[in-house]
């Protein structure tokens, strides 16, 4: 079993994980993940940093010749063996908490003063 750390979940992190969990063996570069997760460009790096440090992700440089391809190398991220189930669990827990919140009876509105 790989060593994996806990990660504090945020909405943005859940958005990133949901993209990656949809294709657990896939590899993505930062801008692509940002666009798919619906984040603002350039905001994904602290999220990736936390996931990398916790062992949920690993990364590698794309093996291309930048001159031939006409673009710089991309750094590709993917879920680790332990990261994929952990991400799925985190998303399931989040969905379950949303369902619980949705099934609670709505709070009755307070009577307005002066209204019988």
Partner 1 sequence: MSILLAVSAAFLGLVVLVVKALIVDEARGRVQRRVAASLEATIASLPIEIQEEWAEEWRGELAAAISMPWTAFAYVRNVRESAEQLVVAKALELVLTETARASARAEGWSRQSIESEQRRSRDLRTGRLRARNWALTYLIKHRDSLLVLACVVMIVAAGWTMLTFPSYVLGTVAMLVLLGGIAALWSRAYD
User: Which ranges of 1-116 does DSSP label H, i.e. alpha helix?
Assistant: 11-21, 30-37, 45-53, 66-69, 83-103
Please check whether residue 64 is in contact with residue 73, taking contact to mean a CB–CB distance below 8 angstroms.
yes
- Of the candidate spans 13-21, 24-32, 78-86, 106-114, the one that interacts with partner 1 by CB under 8 A turns out to be 24-32
10 Å Cβ neighbour count for 27? 17
* Sequence-distant contacts of 90-94: CB under 8 A, at least 24 apart: 90/7, 90/9, 90/14, 90/17, 91/14, 91/17, 91/18, 91/21, 94/9, 94/14
Of 6, 72, 103, 116, which lies in the binding site for partner 1, with binding defined by CB under 8 A? 72
Number of residues that bind partner 1 (CB under 8 A): 18
Query: 32 vs 91, which CB is nearer to partner 1?
Result: 32
- Of the candidate spans 4-12, 46-54, 92-100, 105-113, the one that interacts with partner 1 by CB under 8 A turns out to be 46-54
- Of the candidate spans 1-9, 26-34, 94-102, 104-112, the one that interacts with partner 1 by CB under 8 A turns out to be 26-34
Question: Can residue 30 be called a binding residue for partner 1 (CB under 8 A)?
Answer: yes
CB of 67 to partner 1, least distance (A): 14
Chain contacts with partner 1 (rule: CB under 8 A): 29-31, 40-46, 49-50, 53, 71-75
């Amino acid at each position: 079993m790989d060593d994996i750390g806990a990660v504090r979940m945020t909405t943005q992190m859940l958005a990133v994980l949901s993209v990656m969990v949809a294709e657990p063996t896939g590899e993505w570069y930062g801008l692509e993940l940002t666009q798919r997760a619906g984040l603002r460009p350039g905001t994904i790096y602290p999220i990736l940093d936390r996931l990398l440090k916790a062992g949920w992700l690993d990364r590698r440089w794309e093996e291309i010749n930048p001159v031939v391809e006409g673009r710089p190398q991309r750094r590709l991220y993917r879920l680790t063996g332990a990261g994929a189930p952990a991400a799925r669990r985190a998303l399931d827990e989040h969905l379950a908490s949303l369902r619980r919140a949705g099934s609670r009876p709505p709070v009755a509105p307070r009577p307005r003063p002066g209204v019988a």
